[in-house]
Structure 1
Amino acid sequence: MQQGYSQIRAMLAITKGSLRAIFRSPSSVVFSIAFPLIFILVFGFIGSGGKINVNIAFDENSDTVNPVYLGLKNIPGIKVSSKTGLALKEDLEKGRITALVNISKKTNAPYTIHLTSSEAANPQNVQVLQSILNAVISGINQQQYPAAPTIASISKEVKKIPGRVYRTIDFILPGQLGFSLLSAGVFGVAFLFFNLRQQLVLKRFFATPIQRPYIVLGEALSRVIFQLITAVIIILIGHFVFDFTLVNGWVTFTQIMVLSFIALLLFMGFGFIVSSVAKTESTIPPFANLITLPQFLLAGTFFSIDNFPTWLQPISRVLPLTHFNNAMRNIAFEGAGLSDCLFELGVLGIWMVVVYAVAFKTFKWE
């Protein structure tokens, strides 16, 4: 008895053929795996630095009516957290805050400044904070108290609380994984479906019993499989070669893969749009770069968006790659679960609805 035609089997056959074609393409391998790994290798060998910003908080018992306190708060490079209690302790342990500052004074004695930091904080930022404090104290002495020895002194001992060591790779690798997924989703899908139309491959598919949605699913599934393999390679190299932090081991790794899958589906939607609006193959890169380049530069791929000008930060926080990077860093280093990243996932979901609504409207079969 002859078997009926299976749409699923046909879709998987398309997936298998497309996946073979991807692995045989040197450019796909280079841009998806080798190029992001170059950045990981460069930043991995730099050392164990962390974020650039100097974020601090003042101890609840700190004196807040002295010139040092006011001078420190008015420095543009210093960001003061308003958190208290357990939330402040958590930020300190995870290195989000460089140091907890306590300014105290005894009778007829200068102010004494005590710093409490964490092993998760960047040691260079602690040194930067000490230098800033010395500069503030020196400026106050010269301007207001030239006759006094000093208005304040900094305790040489920095109290340390336990915390994970935060390395450069913990910031860079999530950005490079997002870079890889976004590039593959936009450029890979755009060139693929444009060429399938130009070479009349899609038209030939119409002569077979396979339905149109299964054609798209088959081709898309091959891209998803290839990019998830790429993500596995990037994460494993980062973890075993450069000590990229996976707080909960395989649980964290699995959650990262789920997050990568969600982000890749979104980024592929951009690729469908580009493949439809491009009139010629040469116009694909300009359209694709309009989507990818701003996100590479503004989504916290290489630097924290807190370093950007104030007017630029709201734009950065709208971009989908920003929320992928934030969620990935929270899961990998801070031990958050997907349920703790509902805001980031929600933003990605909103982008997905908008992007695929446009993609369905613009997608062309011929």
Structure 2
Amino acid sequence: MNGFMALARAQWKGFWRDKQNWFWLMAFPLMFLLLFGFLLRDAGASKNTLTQIGSVAIIDQLPPEAKTQFDNLFDVTKTTDAAAAVESVRKGDVDAAVEQRGNEVILHYSQADQVNAARVQGTLGAFVDAANVAISGKPPTFTLDAVAAEDNSLKPIQFIAPGLLGWAVAMGATFNAAMPFVTWRTNKLLRRIRLTPVRTESLVASRLLVSVAVALVQMVVFLAVGVGLFDLKLSGSWWMAIPLLVCATLAFMAIGLIAGAISRTAEAASGIANVIILPMAFLSGSFIPLDQAPPWLQTISKFLPLGQLNEGLLDTMVRGEGPGSAMMPMAALLGFAVVFGLIAARLFRWED
């Protein structure tokens, strides 16, 4: 126990004395949070761009309340040149163009962007249906009352912060395992430790303790910046992120031990760790939400440790899910930790 505590204290002091750790594991991830936070601070739902060709009665004669709703949905420009308007749609400069010939409303859209086309058709179709009801004087049989699942306080930071925190913790745990062990092996420090009464388990456990402490510091810093600068709102079970991060640290430290075991230099260990973590961050939605991603990519993210971590952080921190929502990601991360840990133990070397 004395050897374990001595190693833990020495590694904790060594971590904070290395200024590169301050930058790569603290300042660097925090820069992304600040960048995305400030860029998306005032982001809202984007409008569709619509070109109105000549006079369109259903738009020009909208009552004030409906006109306000229409302006919230469409950014309208007017023109009398129908050919130029259709060409702009074809080039993708605007989402659609609309004109009216008698009682017929004609919508020009591009098949190249079917998502925007469907949104414009559906929205404009609703206004046409409302105009028909107003003319006929007969109320519709069915009505739709659309209510948002989230309240008005939901902002992009709610989704940015958990993903970037997951990436920061994954990177910190991986590098905290890969870099020191390969450095200690090359400078013969591991060989000297082996000659002492300290067991291998104590050496790894002390490094794990330092990595968990660093992950918790990262969490505190991220939440302080998110809440203080960008009005991040945490759900009731946000504290479940703590055991979730501990399980994630176990999994990613095991990955780092594998990278350190198969590397002969610190530079090689750093390269291998980056090759593992950076693509995983993109595939797991750390930088870009996967809500609109293809189904196959969403499936892949579920089989990645960082994907499980990000999903668990989103559920517990911002989606308002209960503590039970973290159990499955925690179990998956512990499973990854066991598998990767066994591989790392098999590859572990005291000296080159």
TM-score for the superposition, normalised by structure 2: 0.69
Once residues 279 and 360 of structure 1 are traced to their aligned partners in structure 2, the CA distance between those partners, rounded to angstroms, is 17
Decide which of 203, 220, 235 is 1:247's aligned counterpart. Answer: 235
Q: Deviations over 1:65-123 (max 9, x none)?
A: xxxxxxxxxxxxxxxxxxxxxxxxxxxxxxxxxxxxxxxxxxxxxxxxxxxxxxxxxxx
Once residues 148 and 170 of structure 2 are traced to their aligned partners in structure 1, the CA distance between those partners, rounded to angstroms, is 39
Matched, 1:29 2:17: no
Q: 1:331 to 1:161 in 2, by over 3 A?
A: closer
Query: Which letter does structure 2 place at the counterpart of 1:37?
Result: L
Q: Which residue is equivalent to 2:211?
A: 223
For 2:318, what is the secondary structure of its paired residue? helix
Whether contact under 8 Å (2:211, 2:249) holds in the other structure is: no
Query: Which letter does structure 1 place at the counterpart of 2:188?
Result: L
Q: Which residue is equivalent to 1:329?
A: 314
CA RMSD, 1 decimal: 3.3
Matched, 1:348 2:337: no
Whether contact under 8 Å (2:176, 2:256) holds in the other structure is: yes
Whether contact under 8 Å (1:305, 1:313) holds in the other structure is: yes
Taking the TM superposition and a 5 Å limit, the aligned residue runs for 1:273-288 are 273-288=258-273
Q: Which residue is equivalent to 2:165?
A: 177
Once residues 129 and 165 of structure 1 are traced to their aligned partners in structure 2, the CA distance between those partners, rounded to angstroms, is 28
Could you tell me how far 1:324 is from its partner in structure 2?
Answer: 0.7
Whether contact under 8 Å (2:186, 2:264) holds in the other structure is: no
Number of residue equivalences = 274
Q: Which residue is equivalent to 2:58?
A: none
Matched, 1:47 2:41: yes
Once residues 223 and 217 of structure 1 are traced to their aligned partners in structure 2, the CA distance between those partners, rounded to angstroms, is 10
Whether contact under 8 Å (1:48, 1:166) holds in the other structure is: no
Identity within the alignment, %: 26
Q: Which residue is equivalent to 1:168?
A: 156
Matched, 1:19 2:12: yes
Query: Which letter does structure 1 place at the counterpart of 2:350?
Result: W
Q: 1:162 to 1:189 in 2, by over 3 A?
A: closer
Q: 1:47 to 1:129 in 2, by over 3 A?
A: farther
Could you tell me how far 1:20 is from its partner in structure 2?
Answer: 0.9
For 1:334, what is the secondary structure of its paired residue? coil
The 10-residue stretch of structure 1 (130-139 or 335-344) with the greater mean CA deviation from structure 2:
130-139
Once residues 120 and 218 of structure 2 are traced to their aligned partners in structure 1, the CA distance between those partners, rounded to angstroms, is 43
For 1:311, what is the secondary structure of its paired residue? helix
Query: Which letter does structure 2 place at the counterpart of 1:305?
Result: L
Q: Which residue is equivalent to 1:133?
A: 122
Taking the TM superposition and a 5 Å limit, the aligned residue runs for 1:1-366 are 8-45=1-38, 46-49=40-43, 131-135=120-124, 163=151, 165-248=153-236, 252=238, 254-366=239-351
Could you tell me how far 1:310 is from its partner in structure 2?
Answer: 3.3
Once residues 21 and 128 of structure 1 are traced to their aligned partners in structure 2, the CA distance between those partners, rounded to angstroms, is 57
TM-score for the superposition, normalised by structure 1: 0.67
Once residues 297 and 321 of structure 1 are traced to their aligned partners in structure 2, the CA distance between those partners, rounded to angstroms, is 10
For 2:295, what is the secondary structure of its paired residue? coil
Could you tell me how far 1:196 is from its partner in structure 2?
Answer: 0.9
Could you tell me how far 1:50 is from its partner in structure 2?
Answer: 7.1
Whether contact under 8 Å (1:299, 1:319) holds in the other structure is: yes
Could you tell me how far 1:129 is from its partner in structure 2?
Answer: 8.8
Q: 1:258 to 1:191 in 2, by over 3 A?
A: same
Query: Which letter does structure 2 place at the counterpart of 1:47?
Result: R
Could you tell me how far 1:345 is from its partner in structure 2?
Answer: 2.2
- Structure number, greater radius of gyration: 2
Could you tell me how far 1:182 is from its partner in structure 2?
Answer: 1.1
Q: Which sections of structure 2, spanning at least 5 residues, go unmatched?
A: 47-115
Query: Which letter does structure 2 place at the counterpart of 1:27?
Result: Q
